[in-house]
Structure 1
């Protein structure tokens, strides 16, 4: 089969012929129709993601959608011909989806939503799983909550907005001037962080009380701002990028709480993989109910154009999630 292979860090991926994989116990063989490109994928290529490193030679690609071609032993909930999607590899030594075929742990995948194309389905897993783990598993988002999502037009934030809305919350989302209309169209109240201070938008939208849940998808100073935007006593901040050194004093003085989200753990450790399969099944249900639609980049890329796809993500010119089609 053809695959995009990482042969050295910070070098272009090489299109190579490598042996077809075969599914082992608990695995399925998938003919990959689409592979979503995340900013993390590009960091792994550069050798800049120690927490998710892939040692060359390696096939990258975290998210995928495709069709089951063979089923290994001990798999009884997928069959040949099933269309599936999930966050299946590309980190910690697990082979990824930038290939014509991939063997994947059946616990990590779900049946693809019928309402979405393969490309749309491949744009969902990492961002949705991150959002679910933060909003549902950690913060218990529910009807009546006021939720602030930082980076509401981004790959994770755009899905987080839709998830919070589907759970009945009132949603606000920050972004720059160019993101305001995108945020408004997806159903959240947009906040231009370049024009309003934290105090300004907390006063305007919560009467100074603070938001019930604040979701940080940016890190750094944005996480610090989250600690001052959350509601006293009952407020909860969740972050997928809380990796720096931060003062907890503003959060502590509000009597609020914080949770970190590290979406890669099941892939890295093998623990909790069934939960990721459950989460992407929830994504499929929301998509089929017309409550979840990803935002795609204006162009898709063939496998031979994978380095162009990575460049679009790295230089910030993407207009939505970038997807590679290994069979195009």
Structure 2
């Protein structure tokens, strides 16, 4: 057996990623060794490579990459529920000092992965874990999204946004989503009422779609001033604002005067703290159920990148040029 593997290594901040041979990991107790078929590229990966993203606690040099889809090739001790040859997906590494997914193999905590949906190919499955877990932790875990509610997703065409729209729809909610003019058709294709945030003020669309009452749930996937807009758009008393990018300084007055609720979503916490990892696996199993039922898809950028193209893939994500999630494919299907 070959004891080395190819991996994309961020040697230092702002440096070009290097594809080189490193030691192939050995699965420890509770881990499985996965042959990576495809690795999703997230904005956080590009930030870490640029020396930012301190909250991810990934010191360089490091193999980056949070998301994967692949095949189990070896089981560590005390692993149940997985078999060699099984196709899996998950968000198992790339932060907190752990090896990332942009490598031929990765040893992962079995609690963080799940069986790949059979309706999605490897590239699609690799694009899904981070964004779906983020959507679920907000809409389901924090806000208990349910039938009959009016839900507003800010950034409905983005990675988290497109999945949040579909998750809210599958829960029976009446879904609305903001986007730029060029993204409105895609948002409508997901089953949401599309709102051009540049053409309509918060007050205008709250009046138009809720008769001035506000939305039951508002999920901010954009951050900054969009979170402030969310406080204005939410319903009084029972309304719930969520944000996965609520990291700035904001006035709580608009929210407080409505007696509404705010929840932050920090999807990386189980990887950084070791607590709650089983829940990530459970969420991914729910994603597979929805995908297999035809209620969940993910738009993947059509450009095909292999591991040697990692720097171009990172540039595409950093510059926001992708039409959907950017994925690096390590094994041809």
**Bucket of the pairwise TM-score, normalised by the shorter protein:** over 0.9
- Give the counterpart of 1:79 among 55, 78, 83: 83
Corresponding residue number in structure 2 for 1:148: 152
Corresponding residue number in structure 1 for 2:93: 89
1:70-95: CA deviation from partner (whole Å, max 9, x where unpaired): 00001011010010000110011011
CA contact (8 A) 1:47 1:53 kept: no
1:250 aligns with 2:250: no
Gaps of 5+ in 2: none
Corresponding residue number in structure 1 for 2:295: 291
1:301 aligns with 2:288: no
Q: How far apart are the structure 2 equivalents of 1:21 and 1:191?
A: 47
Q: How far apart are the structure 2 equivalents of 1:258 and 1:86?
A: 28
- Give the counterpart of 1:177 among 181, 189, 211: 181
- Give the counterpart of 2:44 among 40, 44, 55: 40
Find runs of 4+ consecutive structure 1 residues off by over 3 angstroms. Answer: none
Which residues of 2 match residues 1-328 of structure 1 at below 5 A? 1-328=5-332
With the length of structure 2 as denominator, give the TM-score of the two structures. 0.98
Q: Deviation at 1:53?
A: 3.0
Larger mean CA deviation between 48-57 and 72-81 belongs to 48-57
CA contact (8 A) 1:303 1:327 kept: no
Q: How far apart are the structure 1 equivalents of 2:17 and 2:65?
A: 11
Gaps of 5+ in 1: none
CA contact (8 A) 1:147 1:212 kept: yes
Q: How far apart are the structure 2 equivalents of 1:185 and 1:255?
A: 34
With the length of structure 1 as denominator, give the TM-score of the two structures. 0.99
1:191-237: CA deviation from partner (whole Å, max 9, x where unpaired): 00000000000000000000000000011110001001000110000
Aligned residues: 328
